[in-house]
Structure 1
């Protein structure tokens, strides 16, 4: 099957699932408090978008996502390159990096609130911390897996460490680094939403908590739809960036 047929099949599956959900909600008499019908979710979603109620929350979450992702990825990439190039740094820093990741981020949130206050800064920090590790680990691994014969060729040609890094290691490790970026994007949205559960009064995560408090399940599902759409948009943007960065190497091959 070609790509168009697969996409059509995926949309057909989604429509079938939504129709089955709607029928089950109506004929089984399920309470909207427990499982609202898709029509109720769509109505809540439309009302929130049309009235402008959702937009400040969407902007807040998108801003936290972008800032946290950019901060975490820049630091993660730099740390991955530094530890790949220095065995001393790798030995000194890796235990602390692992410890920073095995500690549950939700447990750190009260501490972040004390340090950075209640609001966007704390959420950005936890988002950056969550998406830091995938890019760091993938960068470190990718740069260490360059074929030995290519490294030996660069040594024979008299290339410096900087030239070897920029002209051999980074281009060779780019697919692995970008795979880490895709993982970081997904985790960044999780970090932003989870951070808003505790440390924000605005954002899609905060709106989930608010809808839970008012027992408005259709609103909660509508917010989950918005989170999913935002995540898919950012992920697709990452895929487009990956294709663009890898295009020169695809042409060569």
Structure 2
């Protein structure tokens, strides 16, 4: 029996990994296959049951709305010149995408600086943590939808209020992960550093901070998604004028509200698809940086992000 098991293992190793193992190792293939299956089932369901686009649009309708907003699919005779092209750009999705992306990225950087800075400060002074941390937790329990109008009053309708709101939403996960990571250093490692007469700064820089980096990057992965949610929330409450010279208010949040109010369900789904792609893209950028910086740290369940 043992000989048979060894032969099976040898044959598996000789034949290479199975299909399931290959899909698990290359998650993008698994995602691509599942995405295609989802689209096929979705299209077939809507077509077979004759569901109205107002209720639940088909993927083909959503794709048409995306082509209309991103690639000027139904502009008629095409682009007549540079002036026409710039006019189309100002009325397309690109103005709204760039507006929201700028707010989310700046909010992410702001929230990262605040969260990382407070986490490091709290670990250096228990007094500061005991005084400030209760206020931070209490502030986080407040509904962000109730706080957003105050940010509009304080900082205006332009991008500044959206950046502050995105940073507010993004900083707390990073703060918690930073504190957990800095506290995760093994006791025997700390005792060893103390036995070698290491200073507090040396213990932090050579042991605690490197040990906390996987947790910190896991916080980055969560914060970058939350920053996009904060920017959209700010645009829901009060969107400002376009930064790049477009007409009217800009931002995917205000565009989503306009399409919802006009009962454009297909357009609403198109904006949701764009937001999903933006969130995935921002998250993948953070994961790429994480793999480059933390090539020495194996990923575990404790250090995985959203």
Match of 1:64 in 2: 103
- Please list the CA deviations of residues 38-76 of structure 1 after superposition, one character each: whole Å capped at 9, or x if unmatched: 111000001100133000001011100110000001110
Aligned residue pairs: how many?
250
Moved over 4 A (4+): 3-6
Instruction: Give 2:49's match in structure 1, choosing from 2, 5, 28.
Output: 28
Q: Contact 1:68–1:124 at 8 Å: present in 2 too?
A: yes
Q: Which runs of structure 2 are paired with 1:1-253 in the superposition (5 Å)?
A: 1-3=21-23, 6-51=27-72, 52=89, 53-200=92-239, 201-249=249-297
The structure number with the bigger radius of gyration is: 2
Give the Cα separation in 1 of the matches to 2:44 and 2:26.
27
Instruction: Give the structure with the larger helix fraction.
Output: 1
Aligned 8 A contact 1:64 1:192 in 2: yes
Q: Which runs of 5+ in 1 are unaligned?
A: none
TM-score (norm. length: structure 2): 0.78
SS in 2 for 1:35: coil
Specify every segment of 5 or more residues in structure 2 that has no aligned partner in the other structure, as ranges. Answer: 1-20, 73-88, 240-248, 299-306
- Greater displacement, 159-168 / 225-234: 159-168
Alpha-carbon displacement from aligned partner over 1:195-219 (angstroms, at most 9, x marks no partner):
2111213111111001112211111
Higher normalized contact order (CA 8 Å, seq sep 6+, divided by chain length): 1
CA contact 1:122–1:199 (8 Å) conserved in 2? no
Distance in 2, matches of 1:217 and 1:199, equals 22
Report the secondary structure of 1:247's partner residue.
coil
Of 191-200 and 127-136, deviating more is 191-200
Q: Measure how far apart 1:6 and its partner are.
A: 4.4
CA 1:108 to 1:5, structure 2 compared with 1: closer, same or farther past 3 Å?
Answer: closer
> What RMSD, in angstroms, separates the aligned Cα atoms of the two structures?
1.4
